[in-house]
A and B are shown apart, each in its own frame.
Chain A
Amino acid sequence: MADVETTPVKLARKDFMSDQEVRWCPGCGDYGILQAAQMTLAELGAKAEDQVFISGIGCAARFPYYMNVYGLHGIHGRAPAIATGVAVARPDLHVWVIGGDGDMFSIGGNHTIHALRRNVDLNVLMLNNQIYGLTKGQYSPTSELGKISKSTPFGSVDTPFNPISVALGAEATFVARTHDMDRNHMMAMFKRAYEHRGSAFVEVYQNCNVFNDGAFEGITAKDKRSSMLIPLEHGKPIRFGVDAEQGVMLNEYGEAKVVDIADVGEDRLLVHDETRADPTVAFALSRLSTGPSMPTPMGVFRAVERPHYGQMVQQQLMEASEAGPGDLRRLIESAPVWEINAN
């Protein structure tokens, strides 16, 4: 687990707010996510100077400018790669990567999966609004099939990514989902990500009220949550519903299915274990919903320990230096050397 710093001074949200005016569209889900991140860091008593926020391009990528931390607003899609450089160079820092679905799963998809498989010590927050906001409304790699958008007037014919499935397939050691309507849940997930050593991937359902308004309303609206969100709680049977009357079980093929508890009995419910070494069950859970129109799991899908990349790099550096630091003369004279004397 992490070396969580504690400071004697109690921090407040404002300690993590920069002096820049926040410029997302009024009503954008990003405001709530920003607030949750600032409050999480304050609650953790994190040192602002040890937080590094790296982003690519997109609405979400403006995030670092609003945080009173070290920040780098990079180029489209490359945030996970830039962050990898920061994290490998400086394992003492807490490195956050913030981006949207287009940034991280389209142009930067390659970097996202490779950062996850390497288990670089990053906290990756993927703000998924299922649309391109900054470029004003084209469908994204997480938009549902048939999406009508500026670039798909007849509906998109692309099958979307399921980001949780992709992250699990990419060997991520921590995978979670939360949404912008529930600050406490967001804060709990961000805190878990912060404490996890290695790549922590958090998908945040985020409403883009200008280009894709209400995309998640069917599951995140207050009156929908109990019937449409499936809370994942470690060590507990997975159940949900207004009267907790529904649950999740694995069928004979290992597929996760929503069932009425009355039909199958309590004992058949899947007890959630986020620490399973094998990601198969976590993957099955990620397939419960193909989009925010069906009951959707929220919470931590997977949290396992594996040495992180920066740590292993550091280990090799230490081992290589056991015999003392490098000697430049010995290095350049590591081939046959001959001397030519004057005259």
Chain B
Amino acid sequence: MSTDTSPRRDIEVLEAVVIRFAGDSGDGMQLTGDRFTDVSAEFGNDLATAPDYPAEIRAPAGTVGGVSAFQVHISDHEILTPGDAPAVLVAMNPAALRANLRDVITGGTLIVNADNFSERDLHKAGYTSNPLDDGSLVGYRVIEIPMTSLTIEASKHTGVKPRDAERSKNFFALGLVFWMYTRPVDPVVSWIEKRFAKNPMVKEANVSAFKAGLNFGETTELFDHPYEIRPAKLPAGRYRNVNGNTALSYGLVAAGQLAKLPIFLGSYPITPASDILHELSKHKNFGVRTLQAEDEIAGIAAAIGASFAGQLGVTTTSGPGVDLKSEAMGLAISLELPLIVIDIQRGGPSTGLPTKTEQSDLLLAMYGRHGEAPLPIVASKTPSDCFETAIEAVRLALKYRTPVILLSDGYIANGAEPWRMPDLDALPDISVPFTTEPNRPDGVFWPFLRDEETLARPWAIPGTPGLMHRIGGIEKEDGTGNISYDTDNHDKMSRLRAAKIANIANDIPGVEHDEDGGTDLLVLGWGSTWGVAREAIRRVRVRGRQVSHAHLRHLNPFPADLGDVLRRYRTVLIPEMNLGQLVKLIRAEYLVDAQSVTKIKGIPFRTYEIEQAIVDALEALDARGA
């Protein structure tokens, strides 16, 4: 067999393509997508990915509920989203076809595993007739390939039993798509060889299936010619591919190094945040301690204990866990101890849509505690941005001795993109000193004697002679920290705690603001809508219309110049994957007539949706006149 992919026919050069791999959750579609992504990244394409996990882990095989999909967008120029609609859908069974067909572009290519279209398969997927021959796929380019039998045939020589051989069919599909898009072959072969080194038979079967897929593309007449997507011209630097939860974990490890403090993670498993617990538990050589707690509350409580003891307490969770941690967050606000609370948002309320994305915890982060309990909130905008956001969250927590909420979401947590890795030597020193000496002229230590500039209280840790002190959730007297039920003192302390957080506005950069689009319309976003908003704005500008863009990393406090920026525009448009949360904060804070574009379907905005909203807003402005 040959692995030579040198062109035999003409190669058509494309600027970009969006491909979706879909199959049963046991079919290995995430792995297939990951391989395609990693190789394309190394090849030099810009890319963005979006995995789509089945809603139910144990959904019956072959049903729509058990479909797992992976979308990847590769291009020869900078891209910001995993793409609106796939041009190519690989569907390993009827359920995968049924669940994904409506997203495919008109005229798109459907590559289906014809071996899996028996009456039983069709029935399980909910089809009453076979879409491959009932005419319902007119308008698509349907390529039916008996992938299962070709895979079994290809691995006959390896001695693998047919039932096991069948498992390699995802590599057949991968090989075929590799041929279609002229991807370099060797990295996959060596990856398989490494990954399955312990099981030579499986290794052989996978390599054979992969090569069979390649050769199938090469030799059959099903495809007129392969395509090529050339490397993108990205900024110079060292790159790797990274997803949000990994970047976030690395950001925390880096922050621990920059702060010269051990990280202590107290966490309870929850989708889609558990991968951070998994990742951090590997890095004990960085002094990272991870505690898989008995529940969400214990996770944050232990993190608070670790911060009290002089480490950097972190807890990771998703919406339901944030609910449970609310009281403990209030405690950390009252104790004025550093703490990082990471919320990988998912569909709510209640259990909601655990595997789907949403941005609906902003108001929870902002207001979800009893009493006057403000804390800083930061949000990541892309998978790789999670690295920097984590460092920023830690910087604020340490400097101001406060819990900080970091908002990410299921889309960026699992989505991946090439990451231009930072110059590690240029990262800031974010360490803060512990207090080791009494802070009163009479040689006494007051745990709530604040720094005049930051309003942060001293952080003296157990083991320090002479600075023994008690802190707690009961209101404290300003300065001494002794229990105080004095009403004036409570008023003062409430205002001091609020002022401390509000002052952070002077310690963060101004709004990230692309004002090249005139002053009619500003699209203002936060979190993971950044990429799709940016892309939509680009398209609107290509159409000759003017629109500007601002994005918020800091959601509490807002950057100091946000009010000035907003007031420059006639209209402000805020896209959010919720029912309008940032828009409420903006209207309340700045009294501007911000408009809302919302979507709450568990999937990110499509570029055209925001593009349309922008165009509509511009037309409304036109109608109003200058």
Q: How far is the CA of A20 from the CA of B250 in the complex (A)?
A: 45
Report chain A residues within 8 Å CB of B310: 89-90
Known A317-B284, A321-B285, A332-B421; judge A48-B238 contact (CB<8 A). Answer: no
A-contacting 9-mer, from B135-143, B239-247, B534-542, B543-551: B239-247
A340, CB-defined interface residue at 8 Å = yes
Q: How far is the CA of A83 from the CA of B283 in the complex (A)?
A: 23
Does A6 belong to the interface (CB within 8 Å)? no
* Chain A residues packing against B (C-beta within 8 Å): 18, 20, 47-50, 52-54, 64-65, 67-75, 78, 81-90, 92-93, 110-111, 114, 313, 316-317, 319-321, 323-326, 328-329, 331-333, 335-342
| Contact A338 B298, beta carbon cutoff 8 Å | no
Q: Is the CB of A326 within 8 A of B305?
A: no
**CB-defined contacts of A82 to chain B, threshold 8 Å:** 301-302, 304-305, 308
Does B69 sit within 8 A of A, measured CB to CB? no
A85 touches B309 (CB 8 A): yes
Q: How far is the CB of A114 from chain B (nearest CB, A)?
A: 4
Chain A residues near B293 (CB, 8 Å)?
81, 114
Measured in the bound complex, the distance between the Cα atoms of B291 and A313 in whole Å is 9
The answer to the question of B60 belonging to the interface, with a C-beta cut-off of 8 Å to chain A, is no
Inter-chain CA distance A338–B42, complex, in Å, is 6
Query: Which stretch (B327-335, B393-401, B489-497, B604-612) binds chain A?
Result: B327-335
Residues of chain B touching chain A, judged by Cβ–Cβ distance below 8 Å, are 38, 41-42, 44, 187, 234-242, 250, 253-254, 257, 262, 264, 266, 283-287, 289, 291, 293-295, 297-298, 301-311, 313, 327-328, 330-331, 335, 421, 424, 462-474, 482-483
B463 touches A110 (CB 8 A): no
Q: How far is the CB of B334 from chain A (nearest CB, A)?
A: 9
The contact sample of 25 A-B pairs, CB cut-off 8 A, is A49-B463, A50-B462, A71-B469, A71-B472, A72-B471, A74-B301, A74-B331, A74-B473, A75-B330, A78-B298, A82-B305, A85-B306, A85-B313, A88-B289, A88-B291, A88-B306, A89-B264, A89-B289, A89-B309, A89-B310, A110-B298, A317-B289, A321-B287, A333-B240, A340-B44
Which has the most chain B C-beta neighbours within 10 Å: A67, A73, A92, A332?
A332
Q: Are A78 and B297 in contact (CB under 8 A)?
A: yes
Please measure, in the bound complex, the distance between the C-alpha atom of A64 and the C-alpha atom of B328, giving whole angstroms. Answer: 19
Query: Which B residues touch A69, using CB under 8 A?
Result: 468
Q: Are A110 and B421 in contact, with the CB atoms below 8 A?
A: no
Bound Cα distance A90, B308 (Å): 10
Q: Decide if A68 touches B468 in the complex (CB within 8 Å).
A: yes
Quick check: B463 and A93 within 8 Å, CB to CB? yes
Q: Which residues of B contact A48 (CB under 8 A)?
A: 468
Neighbouring A residues of B242 by C-beta, 8 Å: 335
The CA of A333 and the CA of B327, in the complex, are separated in Å by 39
Q: Which residues of A contact B328 (CB under 8 A)?
A: 75, 78
Q: Which of A85, A325, A329, A336 contacts B305 (CB 8 A)?
A: A85
Contact A333 B421 (CB under 8 A): yes
Task: Kindly list chain B residues whose C-beta atoms are within 8 Å of the C-beta of A337.
Answer: 238-240, 421
How far apart are the CA atoms of A326 and B308 in the complex, in Å?
Answer: 25
B311/A89 in contact, CB under 8 A: yes
Q: Is the CB of A340 within 8 A of B234?
A: yes
CB distance from B237 to the nearest CB of A (A): 6
Rounded to whole angstroms, the CA-CA distance of A333 and B246 in the bound complex is 12
Tell me the bound Cα distance from A70 to B481 in angstroms: 13
Say whether, besides A84-B291, A326-B253, A72 and B472 are in contact (CB < 8 Å).
yes
CB distance from A306 to the nearest CB of B (A): 18
Shortest distance between the CB of A83 and any CB in chain B (Å) = 6
